[in-house]
Chains A and B, each alone.
Chain A
Amino acid sequence: MIGNEGPGPRTVVRFAGDSGDGIQVLGGEFAKAVAMEHHDLLTLPDFPAEIRAPAGSTFGVSAFQIQFGGDGVLTPGDEADVLFAFNPAALKTNLDTLKRGGVIVVDTDAFSPRNLKRAGYAVNPLEDGSLSEYRLMSMAITHLTAEAVAPTGVGRKQAGRAKNFWSLGLSLWLFGGDRAPTIQWIESKFSSMPDVVASNVAALNAGHAYGETMELDAGDAALGVNAELHHGVFRTITGTDAMGLGLAAVAALSGLKLTYSSYPITPASALLHFLASLKGRGIVTFQAEDEVAAITAAIGTSYAGGLGVTASAGPGLSLKTEALGLAVAVELPLLVIDVQRAGPSTGMPTKPEQADLNLALYGRHGEAPLPVLAPATPSECFRIMIEAARIATTYMTPVIVLSDAYIANAAEPWELPDTDALPPIAPAFRSDPAGFEPFTRDPETLARPWAKPGTPALAHRIGGLERADGSGNISYDPENHQRMTDLRAEKIARVAEQGLEHEIDSGATSGDLLVIGWGSTYGAIEDAVSGLTRAGFSVGHLHLRQIWPLPANLGAILARFGNVAVAEMNRGQLARLIRSEFLVDARSITQTSGQPFKVGTIEAALRDLLDGLPRPRSQIG
């Protein structure tokens, strides 16, 4: 956490090139090396939607941004200090992400007349003085790589592919980083192709040697500050992988057989791929014919005594709504993940947005309340999945977890938890036939019994027609429907009593302005609030991980502040919920550009709010 002193020095590096240039591998390996130098970091890939866009086109540019430095790196950075542009299209589309005076590293070989024309440059920007505001580092990366790998005897194609390792070598020289882990990775990844190993390693070393011989330096951007990561075991983790590992943890902690059934959709498919790679350990993956089949198969699994899990993006969650109502009605546990992307309709499939909150909260016919959780950071996906499974099995209810394209793809160092200290999940299967009725309730949680088929003497029928309180028989009785509707709502309300604890994440614990966020806006709000706190404003940040039911103490927290603002990537969906639940004049800070909030954007919006406050502010610090 950042104190009042402010963050230590940080560096933002952005790699941009053709989608065939291996930018994501370069970024990922660079992040690993940087992490091992004990820097805190956060990375965000920015890939094109097209699978194989024509080489050199602006829409085929793939980018990867990393911020690293001392403790408390919470965003990929508002602007880059150093931009690697591997071709003119990459320069063209990424220059506005670079700060003034920043460093540009370019591969001059790629600035051919043809590529310049493809990128829409009439004249070569490396030569016309248009980059004079920046520090330009030009080098013939393609040639230098070809020379370096020539002794390994690989063909031109492989030589071309090794460019990203050359650039990684150079980056490790510029920012300081060990090549050994990358070499190990290359050796294991290409173990069946010794010439590929040799050429990639040669390129890596050559890039590093080039920086050393030419005495290149990244100036202010090169930093030697380490994060004060306390002792522990870490790994870099994306939200997708943390979510997958969270589900694996659910399997291990509960002993339940998980069925993960889904239909491919960006950006949720990566989770299906991750879980499929576990090869049946704890989790069975099932690629269904559509999202309706995916969720109903998951419901079937939970009915039969496993735990059904399904994930999608907004278009898929839309298809699942009818079945979600069934899960609410028959009161079975179920985990439903929505990796949100910009909508409506197909929208911008690779870009983040938080506009499915209303769908998650209200997107069912009838009164069909269910818990909604949202991880704030990539690594937090792990514990949120465990919490979601705990709630689902304790209260016999479907739970929606809202992630987004940013959380799913961003990576950060994660201090691995002690697996022995994880909270157990103890599903209580009913086996005693004495007095069994499928819709009697636990007096505390209001959960109905989980009686799985195959259990002797518990045969019973459930379904979507209203069930009589207790017996579960079909009932059209008005009083029964009123009672069951109330019971279903009360059951979900009770989740708050034992739910996730919420307190101010940072900044003032009471005072002028409370900023509320949820999901992937965490880092940007956190940084904005700490900037304002340093500037003497009385601002606190509260980040909701449990959006429904709202945390039991939320009203009390709100009461400690004079004003409330909600920052979210939609048109004010959580703000409206807070307004309607607490009758407070929550102001809305919103953005729906398909881009994560910049720290500066939130800070400016909050400053405007603070400046307009009716009463004098209490200055602190």
Chain B
Amino acid sequence: MNQVIKLTPKDFETDQEVRWCPGCGDYAILKSMRKTLSEVGRNPDDVVVVSGIGCAARLPYYLETYGFHSIHGRAPSLATGIKLANPELDVWVVGGDGDFLAIGGNHLTHILRRNVDVNLILFNNAVYGLTKGQFSPTSIPGTRSPSTPDGSVDPPVNPATLALGGNGSFVARTADTLQDHLPEVLLRAHAFVGAAFVEVLQNCIVYNDNAFGDLTSKRHRAENTVIVRHGEPMLFGADNDRGLIYEPVRGEFRVTGNASEASLHDETNWALAAALARVNDPDLPTPLGVFYCAPREDFVSAREDLIPYTPLSPGDLKDLLYTDSWRA
């Protein structure tokens, strides 16, 4: 199953017409997924892409692998069942912010804490696209939508913070338009054994256009984001001339104009990861990258080590049935 196969992104196109709105950020994610899958060296017949419901969740129809478009919010548990049946499969779970964080929030936290060996790709557009634009669990307060004409009230959930708090062992953030960074993170997620959670900031051009424009546009990207990589200084700015200094006591950051002062990223440091994930400050760049990566045994392997599955032979069945029996 692990033979290296030469594939191109084109090999992952299906005969189905892609039906997202023109200009939707989902196209860019699809493109990166095809690129990643063509590079990971897995046979497409061993890849399964599972989704719930939403615009994002249509993705399996557009990938020439095995695919299961299931019901709203439940893709993580479906994927868990797939891994229990066949741990060899390369399983990807894709879904929107409503799918993963509203109706499926329960399953998301449980697949993370169990550390089932799948890749979870959250398409966060901070809106319910498919149902025509209602606010979502990641929408900022005040979001005007068909269901909140006067603006929403609920404070949002921060997906990466939730994943870290939920005992996730791999937590990353990237964005749809970053066609260099997105595949890099997807490759890292794929290489990780365990539940790899990737939040992709995604533009819904129809219902929440430019929600992340300040971060993802070519013009602002360098100023407003900082890409963190393990062991490297946390630098940003057009010339990478500024950096972040980590203040561990309060779990906060401050900006330095002296790049040599910048703190190094350590993706095994949970507190640093949590601090990066929760940055929400107009004076600070928004962190992207692999915040946390702390390998531990995945769920199905741990189960197998403790209680190995063995097929039941007819002889075993007879033994089971005939315990505590007597002859009349």
- Listed stretches A169-177, A277-285, A554-562; interface member: A277-285
- Determine the chain A residues whose CB is within 8 A of the CB of B81 once the complex forms: 259, 261, 286, 296-304, 308
- Listed stretches A231-239, A515-523, A596-604, A610-618; interface member: A231-239
Q: Is A609 an interface residue (CB 8 A)?
A: no
Contact among B71, B86, B106 for A323, CB-based, below 8 A: B71
Q: Is there an interface contact between B44 and A459, defined as CB atoms closer than 8 Å?
A: yes
User: At the interface, is chain B mostly helix, strand, loop or mixed?
Assistant: mixed
- Listed stretches B24-32, B229-237, B279-287, B312-320; interface member: B312-320
Report the separation of the CA atoms of residues A21 and B309 in the bound assembly, to the nearest whole angstrom: 38
Q: Is there an interface contact between B316 and A282, defined as CB atoms closer than 8 Å?
A: yes
In chain A, residues 448-500, which have Cβ atoms closer than 8 Å to a Cβ of chain B?
A: 452-465, 473-474
Report the separation of the CA atoms of residues A464 and B67 in the bound assembly, to the nearest whole angstrom: 12
In chain A, residues 256-289, which have Cβ atoms closer than 8 Å to a Cβ of chain B?
A: 257, 259, 261, 278-284, 286, 288-289
Q: Is A61 an interface residue (CB 8 A)?
A: no
Q: Is A572 an interface residue (CB 8 A)?
A: no
Most buried by A among B66, B81, B308, B312: B81
Q: Is B159 an interface residue (CB 8 A)?
A: no
Report the separation of the CA atoms of residues A460 and B69 in the bound assembly, to the nearest whole angstrom: 11
Instruction: Kindly report which residue of chain A lies nearest to residue B46, judged by CB atoms.
Output: A454
Report the separation of the CA atoms of residues A332 and B211 in the bound assembly, to the nearest whole angstrom: 40
Q: Is there an interface contact between B14 and A461, defined as CB atoms closer than 8 Å?
A: yes
Q: Is there an interface contact between A464 and B86, defined as CB atoms closer than 8 Å?
A: no
Instruction: Kindly report which residue of chain B lies nearest to residue A463, judged by CB atoms.
Output: B69
Instruction: Kindly report which residue of chain B lies nearest to residue A418, judged by CB atoms.
Output: B318
Contact among B69, B70, B83, B317 for A249, CB-based, below 8 A: B317
Min CB gap A240→B, angstroms: 14
- Determine the chain A residues whose CB is within 8 A of the CB of B311 once the complex forms: 251, 255, 257, 282
Report the separation of the CA atoms of residues A293 and B214 in the bound assembly, to the nearest whole angstrom: 38
Q: Is there an interface contact between A252 and B78, defined as CB atoms closer than 8 Å?
A: no
- Determine the chain B residues whose CB is within 8 A of the CB of A417 once the complex forms: 321
Q: Is there an interface contact between A257 and B309, defined as CB atoms closer than 8 Å?
A: yes
User: At the interface, is chain A mostly helix, strand, loop or mixed?
Assistant: mixed
Size of interface on A: residues with Cβ below 8 Å to B:
72
Min CB gap B123→A, angstroms: 17
Q: Contacts A36-B326, A459-B66 given; indicate if A453 touches B77 (C-beta within 8 A).
A: no
- Determine the chain A residues whose CB is within 8 A of the CB of B46 once the complex forms: 453-454
Contact among A236, A280, A302, A463 for B70, CB-based, below 8 A: A463
Contact among A257, A261, A293, A462 for B106, CB-based, below 8 A: A293
Report the separation of the CA atoms of residues A382 and B308 in the bound assembly, to the nearest whole angstrom: 25
- Determine the chain A residues whose CB is within 8 A of the CB of B44 once the complex forms: 459
- Listed stretches B57-65, B147-155, B185-193, B252-260; interface member: B57-65
Contact among B107, B317, B318 for A293, CB-based, below 8 A: B107
Q: Contacts A279-B307, A301-B84 given; indicate if A457 touches B106 (C-beta within 8 A).
A: no
Min CB gap B81→A, angstroms: 3
Instruction: Kindly report which residue of chain A lies nearest to residue B43, judged by CB atoms.
Output: A456
Q: Is there an interface contact between B322 and A459, defined as CB atoms closer than 8 Å?
A: no
Q: Is B144 an interface residue (CB 8 A)?
A: no
Min CB gap A571→B, angstroms: 31
In chain A, residues 298-345, which have Cβ atoms closer than 8 Å to a Cβ of chain B?
A: 298-306, 308, 322-323, 326, 330
Q: Is B220 an interface residue (CB 8 A)?
A: no
Q: Is B325 an interface residue (CB 8 A)?
A: yes
Instruction: Kindly report which residue of chain A lies nearest to residue B86, judged by CB atoms.
Output: A304
- Determine the chain A residues whose CB is within 8 A of the CB of B164 once the complex forms: none
- Determine the chain A residues whose CB is within 8 A of the CB of B308 once the complex forms: 280
Report the separation of the CA atoms of residues A249 and B44 in the bound assembly, to the nearest whole angstrom: 34
Contact among B70, B106, B309 for A326, CB-based, below 8 A: B70
Q: Is A504 an interface residue (CB 8 A)?
A: no
Q: Contacts A233-B327, A248-B317, A453-B89 given; indicate if A284 touches B84 (C-beta within 8 A).
A: yes
Q: Contacts A301-B81, A326-B71 given; indicate if A458 touches B89 (C-beta within 8 A).
A: no
Q: Is there an interface contact between B318 and A462, defined as CB atoms closer than 8 Å?
A: no
Report the separation of the CA atoms of residues A299 and B53 in the bound assembly, to the nearest whole angstrom: 16
Report the separation of the CA atoms of residues A420 and B323 in the bound assembly, to the nearest whole angstrom: 17
Contact among A232, A297, A305, A457 for B45, CB-based, below 8 A: A457
Chain A positions near chain B (C-beta within 8 angstroms): 32, 35-36, 38, 229-236, 245, 248-249, 251-253, 255, 257, 259, 261, 278-284, 286, 288-290, 292-294, 296-306, 308, 322-323, 326, 330, 416-417, 419-420, 452-465, 473-474
Chain B positions near chain A (C-beta within 8 angstroms): 1, 14, 16, 43-48, 50, 53, 60-61, 64-71, 74, 76-86, 88-89, 106-107, 110, 303, 307-314, 316-318, 320-328
Given contacts A233-B322, A301-B81, A463-B67, 7 further A-B contacts (CB under 8 A): A233-B325, A293-B77, A296-B70, A296-B107, A453-B48, A454-B66, A456-B43
Q: Can you sample 9 A-B contacts with CB below 8 Å?
A: A233-B327, A234-B328, A248-B320, A252-B314, A253-B314, A304-B89, A454-B66, A455-B45, A463-B60
Return the 7 tightest CB-CB contacts between A and B, nearest first: A300-B81, A463-B69, A282-B312, A297-B81, A306-B85, A293-B77, A304-B85
